[in-house]
Amino acid sequence: RKEVEQDPGPFNVPEGATVAFNCTYSNSASQSFFWYRQDCRKEPKLLMSVYSSGNEDGRFTAQLNRASQYISLLIRDSKLSDSATYLCVVSLFGNEKLTFGTGTRLTIIP
Amino acid sequence: NAGVTQTPKFRILKIGQSMTLQCAQDMNHNYMYWYRQDPGMGLKLIYYSVGAGITDKGEVPNGYNVSRSTTEDFPLRLELAAPSQTSVYFCASSNQETQYFGPGTRLLVL
């Protein structure tokens, strides 16, 4: 079983729609959780950290379910600029030694 | 701040050749990392360093070596290039909250 599993997509979603991704992780000792965004042929960049209580940043909402070992990302009112690959990332120790999922590719259609 | 810089951007190597991928950061981060990303895959950790003079293996260290003589620089050495090392290589550095990635080096081994 992979340490971090994501649906690779692609998700093709009309502009303005809401889209949600899930990710599961296998190591119950994982302590830190993140969503990174990677544009085509670019480096990954931190989108948001994921906290146990759930957190929101503008149109983006992240949730963590420790009991079921999954993380979700919800994007509301999607924009063309949201087109990217979204990487689910977990770590045993804070920001060190991150384990990456393979990513979910999202394309927003005008 | 330039952030994390990597050179070269792109390189073609013949099987058996050696090369050094350069990485530098100007954010005074203690932690630095090397990842590789194969097409359609997540990033895999090759080596990491928690400070000058200290390095450790990640998930896929075979065929690579690193050194960390200064806080700023973390070069990755390939001694005998193999086709399996064709990939995109990302260097990263981190503070307490975020890993910052360089723009990547695309390596093709023929």
Question: Residues B81-106: pLDDT tens digits?
Answer: 999 999 999 999 998 778 999 999 99
pLDDT in tens, A25-65: 999 999 999 999 999 989 999 999 998 888 999 999 999 99
Using the beta-carbon criterion (under 8 Å), do B42 and A98 form an inter-chain contact? Answer: no
What average pLDDT does the structure give for chain A? 93
- Cβ neighbors of A19 (< 8 A, separation 6 or more) are A11, A13, A74, A75, A78, A106
A64: closest CA among A85, A86, A81, A49?
A49
Res B44 pLDDT > 90: yes
pLDDT of A105: 95
Using the beta-carbon criterion (under 8 Å), do A95 and B99 form an inter-chain contact? Answer: yes
pLDDT in tens, A54-94: 899 999 999 999 999 999 999 999 999 999 999 999 998 77
pLDDT of A97: 82
pLDDT of B48: 95
Q: Does A53 touch chain B (CB under 8 A)?
A: no
How is residue A42 annotated by DSSP?
S
- Across the interface, of A87, A94, A102, the residue whose CB is closest to B96 is A94
DSSP run (H or E) holding B7 = strand B4-7
- Across the interface, of A42, A43, A100, the residue whose CB is closest to B42 is A100
pLDDT in tens, B1-35: 789 999 999 999 999 999 999 999 999 999 999 99
Angle at A45 between CA A42 and CA A46, to 5 degrees: 165
pLDDT of B39: 85
Res A95 pLDDT > 80: no
- Cβ neighbors of B62 (< 8 A, separation 6 or more) are none
pLDDT of B81: 96
pLDDT classification of B40: cutoffs 50, 70, 90: confident
Q: What is the mean pLDDT of residues A83-109?
A: 91
Neighbouring-strand partners of residue B57 = B47
pLDDT of A53: 86
* Nearest-angstrom CA–CA distance, A86 and A31: 20
Res A11 pLDDT > 90: yes
Q: Does A55 touch chain B (CB under 8 A)?
A: no
* Nearest-angstrom CA–CA distance, A22 and A70: 7
**Both tokens assigned to B48:** 């990491």
* Nearest-angstrom CA–CA distance, A47 and A25: 18
